[in-house]
Structure 1
Amino acid sequence: MPKKSFSELINSPGMPVLVDFYADWCGPCKTMAPILEQVAAQHQGKLKIIKIDVDRNPAAAQQFRVQGIPTLILFHKGQPVWRQSGVVAAPQLAQAVQPFLG
């Protein structure tokens, strides 16, 4: 299967896409990982979560002006609709994605 481009990933039909810009060496990113898993489990089939390693994909991070990590950006119909840098608590993250769920 061919590798999808970043724009193809964020234009997921029918569901919002939450992008986690992270790095393996980032402590707060490691804190964020189980929170993302929890939110993904709560919204399975309604929310797509993808992780972008900023060290391996600097162009994507640069395109969205990611200054610090972790940075979460929620895309709805291919457009960024919510953004947060740093660790986000699960209830706050769930509240942010709720209006965009199908």
Structure 2
Amino acid sequence: MKSNFNDIIKGEKAVLVDFHATWCGPCKTLAPILKEVKAELGDTVKIVKIDVDKNQELAGKYQVRGVPTMILFKNGQQLWRQSGVLQKADIIEVINSKS
């Protein structure tokens, strides 16, 4: 996943990465919200889910201490990060204002 991950976040399209875990309750709450965000924004954003238990090296690289943690990338640069669950409107506002 790691080399592929760098390719994914390098693009000109905004990429929202959701660091999550299968055992995490708030992560389960966030999943359908992210689906709605994707449905509303369509091709303007790519949403990638990273399971921290399966990708510990990547989670460590980005210092993900709690899940869910969302990080917004564009052109390989980290533009924003937030831990916890946000509402759809808040996530869309961040993506639109940063990308």
TM-score, normalization by structure 2:
0.93
Separation in 2 of the partners of 1:100 and 1:78? Answer: 13
Larger relative helix fraction: 2
Which runs of 5 or more residues in structure 2 are unaligned? none
Q: Which runs of 5+ in 1 are unaligned?
A: none
CA-atom RMSD, angstroms? 1.4
CA offsets 1:44-92 (integer angstroms, 9 cap, x no match): 1110000000000001100000010000000011111010000011111
Q: Secondary structure at the match of 1:74?
A: strand
Supply the distance in 2 between the matched residues of 1:21 and 1:41 (Cα, whole angstroms).
20
Aligned length: 98
Name the counterpart of 2:9.
Answer: 10
Matched with 1:81 is 79
Moved over 2 A (4+): none
CA distance in 2 between counterparts of 1:78 and 1:36 reads 21
C-alpha distance in structure 2 between counterparts of 1:9 and 1:76, whole Å: 9
